[in-house]
Chains A and B, each alone.
Chain A
Amino acid sequence: MSVRMPEPDGAVLARRAQIVKALRTMVPGEGVIASEREMKPFETDGLTAYHQLPMVVVLPETTEQVSLVLAYCHAEGIKVVPRGAGTSLSGGALPLADGVLLGMAKFNKIKNIDFDNRVAVVEPGVTNLAVSTAVAHAGFYYAPDPSSQIACTIGGNVAENSGGVHCLKYGMTTNNVLGCEIVLITGEVLRIGGKHLDSEGYDLLGLIIGSEGLLGVVTEVTVRLLKKPETARAVLVGFPSSEDAGECVSTIIGSGIIPGGMEMMDGPAIKAAEAFVHAGYPLDVEALLIVELDGPGTEVDYLIARVEKIARDCRAVSVKVSNSEQERLLFWAGRKAAFPAVGRISPDYYCMDGTIPRAQLPLVLKRMKELSVKYGLSVANVFHAGDGNLHPLILYDSNKPGELDRAESFGSDILRLCVEVGGVLTGEHGVGVEKRDLMPVMFSEIDLAAQQRVKCAFDAKGLLNPGKVFPVLHRCAELGRMHISGGKLPFPDIPRF
């Protein structure tokens, strides 16, 4: 593990037996797990290079239990790491040796489905896909669809502001959640928003979504439901170069078409996916685009024809339109299996997640090739082309000494490159521990201090998920101090009236 976590608190560890006993009075039965063997499954999340046994695992079932546990931890100065399904790719749910791991998996009920208001009220442990499944009979669905949607939970989606392949048109989690119940570290239970739109005051919900478990523990979420589009069709387009594919994407959007999904894969990713899934991808191309249009049949047919023409004008060498639902799903099968497909050709892979202004793609791919040579590691790229979210998969072998470190350095260089060209460190996987130490590449100390003051408003003792997101921990008292420099008017020439 190359990222330093906060030093475990010896005084807390010394009281472990007493703490476990107290927690058992709050969460009865099997809800408190303290044996090493049983805690083992919780020691890591989707970022498997990092692992750490927690001090104790607590699996509450009610908001009241969450409140009791948090209030106790607050009073006793014990750190808490919240966890959904543990699919985070940035180590957001990585436990702390001296911390309580608060697993929210037992919050698995869908409490209310309300088609009149087009919302569902769900507990945070409900999986993303389960929401869509529960409303499918009436033709509705929940729009954000991260690749891990079979396993990942709504609570985790809220923490990470999860996206998915459809978010250019339908938005990320933050655009699809209307309200939540949240428990602060003090044990205080707050309700924010509801079935109505917008906030009556500060948009606290907007702060909570994407806060990576640092502000509170969500115990209920109200999500928007959308009516399923009448139909969807996809076009599979092969290009001789990523420049041509990029131009095609820009032309589609520039001509006023917002596809439901628009994905790009580079040569190595195409080859790996095709070998695994046999989706009929062309193998003689350098870039492959999947463009999906959804809506009423007449609209989809009309737009598909326009996209086909744009693709040919952009020098596409192969254009295939799905003519059945089965064929559409086959087009997607390769893309959706791209990660495991790469997993087949390499013992390990490291999945990155930067976003770039789309026009910079050819430059970024070129620089990435140079980095690939420099580090002696291959890279395959899948790209949410519509919104510029890039997922380079760095291939390595953890059994070869030094390769993991090299993969991590390669990854850091890619993310620095993303920021350099006007992009950001993470599009949808979160900062977690993985990108924590890169935060200063994007933010000044002043920017980070302002964000940490938000943290202070929610969790003044810094007990929730410390060691994630922020590279340097400051005490709230220190952050709160004002430095007023002089009372003189330093700008005599600002116009005054």
Chain B
Amino acid sequence: MTDILKPRDAKEVEDAVKWALGNDKTLELLGHGSKRALGRPCQTDITLDLSGLSGVTLYEPAELVLSAKAGTPLADIEALLDKNNQQLDFEPMDFGPLLGNTAGQDTLGGAIATNLSGPRRLKAGAARDHFLGVTAVTGRGETIKSGGRVVKNVTGYDMCKVLAGSWGTLAAMTDITIKVLPKPETEATVVVEGLDDERACAAMSAAMGSSCDVSAAAHLPDHVASYFDGLPRPEAATVLRLEGVAPSVAHRKETLAALMKPFGPVALLDDANSKALWRSVRQVKPFAVSQERPLWRISTAPGKGFEVAAAITPAAQMFYDWGGGLIWVAMPFADEPDAGSIRRAVGDLGGHATLIRAPAALRASVAVFEPQSAGLAALSKRVKDGFDPKGLLNPGRMWAGV
């Protein structure tokens, strides 16, 4: 049985890490566990439950800044922001349903540690781009600070960046400061119907290259379209979201619809349907219905999206986000993620693939994260050793030995 430690404040987190260090114990860092089944399974002696570190400690809407303890539920933060007509512009995905958990279980720390970014990522940036400051306990049992509460800051190395997306392998974050932004007054989605993947990538590229300021662009092929909410018809849909003040959205909707006409029939979604649609994209809905199929998430050059997809077995189900640059791929057989073919497809065209869902035994035996070049892997290991020389924190979660 694994022991669980549940510190109540940042000082107790430091104490816990120091104790683990002195007793050669390894630690699994946990918020609410919504993404626990993601990454390589770690075998640790102790679970460090950080959900006791909860609460917003600073929120100044006019300064666009919010600080909260790492275990604060994201849902609480989003509700607070909503009251002030603000939002997390990186639009974090909700992996809960995808991994067999309920929706809305993420913590702020979990979202930052996994650099969890949703459809607006292609316009507004990833979680890491909104991460301003941090207090964290390294694997040395030392509490460090980096960044601050201001947007513009180049004082010292940008340690926030390396902690975002480090999956808890470098430090246990205790306090997090992020940039928040105004919520758009309204939104609408332009839908281009019936496109094949290649044509859809061209349409998304034309839309993103226009001055319509598209805030999300996805292509939902025929075979998965019926799972998404808000679409006019359960057919292949290339969907382009516009957000902003009402007169601007109205104007851009017209412009973009005209630009998309040559690609195929165009339909328009109003605010409510648009919101429903993108919520279902954010929850990767077609692949959350059942947890059977191994699921990959591929990031590639958007113009290459359809080529990467074409190199993968036609029995796979997939859809595109980020203008074609993010591909969700569900493989046909439960016990066969077919890492070889995915890695080849991505390797030939550039980018990286992450195995988001597969049975634990498979995640232990195939690389979950994209294997790195020898040079990058060695450098990453040296960075890890700087923070956590004993390999105390989430050992092996990203790579074996790291």
The residues of A with any CB-CB pair to B shorter than 8 Å are 114-119, 139-140, 160-161, 163, 167-168, 171-172, 174-175, 184, 188-192, 194-207, 209-211, 227-230, 250-251, 253-254, 256-258, 295-299, 302-303, 355-359, 384, 387-389, 422-431, 435, 439, 442-444, 446-451, 453-458, 469, 480, 482, 484-491, 494-497
Contact = CB atoms under 8 A, between A and B. Distances in A.
Contacts, number: 315
B348 to A, nearest CB: 13
Contact of A209 (B125, B158, B350, B387): B158
B62 interface: yes
A19 B153 CA distance: 38
Contacts of A256: 85, 182-183, 185
A387 B150 contact: yes
A318 to B, nearest CB: 24
Given A296-B211, A443-B156, 15 more contacts: A172-B154, A196-B301, A198-B128, A202-B166, A209-B158, A253-B182, A254-B61, A296-B212, A424-B148, A427-B154, A442-B156, A449-B142, A454-B157, A454-B159, A480-B386
A364 to B, nearest CB: 13
B117 interface: yes
Contacts of A197: 121-122, 126, 299, 322, 325-326
B16 A491 contact: yes
B151 A168 contact: yes
B338 interface: no
Contacts of B383: 202, 204, 207, 454, 457
B351 A196 contact: yes
Given A203-B161, A298-B247, A426-B155, A496 B3 contact: yes
B64 A253 contact: yes
B150 A453 contact: no
Contacts of B375: 188-190
26 contacts: A116-B205, A117-B205, A139-B211, A172-B152, A174-B129, A175-B125, A196-B352, A197-B126, A201-B380, A203-B161, A227-B209, A295-B248, A296-B213, A298-B250, A303-B245, A422-B150, A443-B145, A454-B157, A457-B385, A458-B382, A480-B385, A482-B21, A484-B22, A487-B23, A495-B6, A496-B5
Interface string B1-43: 0011111100010011011011100000000000000000000
A311 to B, nearest CB: 16
Contact of A229 (B159, B211, B301, B351): B211
Contacts of A227: 208-211
Contact of B19 (A171, A428, A491): A491
Contacts of B279: none
Interface string B174-203: 000000011101000000000000000000
Contact of A424 (B155, B185, B255, B302): B155
A494 B8 contact: yes
Contact of B162 (A202, A435, A494): A202
Nearest to A250: B62
Contacts of B162: 202-204, 206-207, 454
Closest 6 CB pairs of A and B: A206-B161, A299-B248, A453-B386, A200-B352, A256-B182, A487-B22
Contacts of A190: 373, 375-376, 379
Contacts of A163: 152
A171 B121 CA distance: 13
Contacts of B143: 446
Q: Which of B21, B151, B153, B380 has the most CB of A within 10 A?
A: B153
Interface string B271-302: 00000000000000000000000000001111
| Interface range for B | 35 or more
Contacts of B65: 357
B219 interface: no
A97 to B, nearest CB: 26
Nearest to A450: B144
B104 interface: no
Contacts of B322: 197
B121 A210 contact: no
Contact of B157 (A195, A211, A487): A211
B394 interface: no
Contact of A427 (B141, B152, B185): B152
A473 to B, nearest CB: 15
A140 B211 CA distance: 9
A168 B15 CA distance: 39
A494 B5 contact: yes
B181 A230 contact: no
A494 to B, nearest CB: 5
Given A118-B208, A206-B162, A490 B18 contact: yes
A100 to B, nearest CB: 23
Contact of B386 (A257, A357, A454, A486): A454
B146 interface: yes
Q: Which of A167, A359, A490 has the most CB of B within 10 A?
A: A490
Contacts of A494: 5-8, 12, 15-16
B211 A230 contact: yes
A207 B154 CA distance: 11
A196 B211 contact: no
Given A190-B375, A201-B372, A206 B164 contact: yes
Contacts of B21: 482, 484
Nearest to B185: A256
Q: Which of A114, A485, A488, A495 has the most CB of B within 10 A?
A: A495
Nearest to A439: B156
A176 B292 CA distance: 38
A332 to B, nearest CB: 19
Contacts of A497: 3-4, 6, 49
Nearest to A168: B151
A490 B15 contact: yes
A355 B253 CA distance: 38
A199 B63 CA distance: 29
A115 B209 contact: yes
Nearest to B244: A299
A201 B8 contact: no
Contacts of A174: 129, 158, 161
Given A198-B299, A450-B386, A299 B151 contact: no
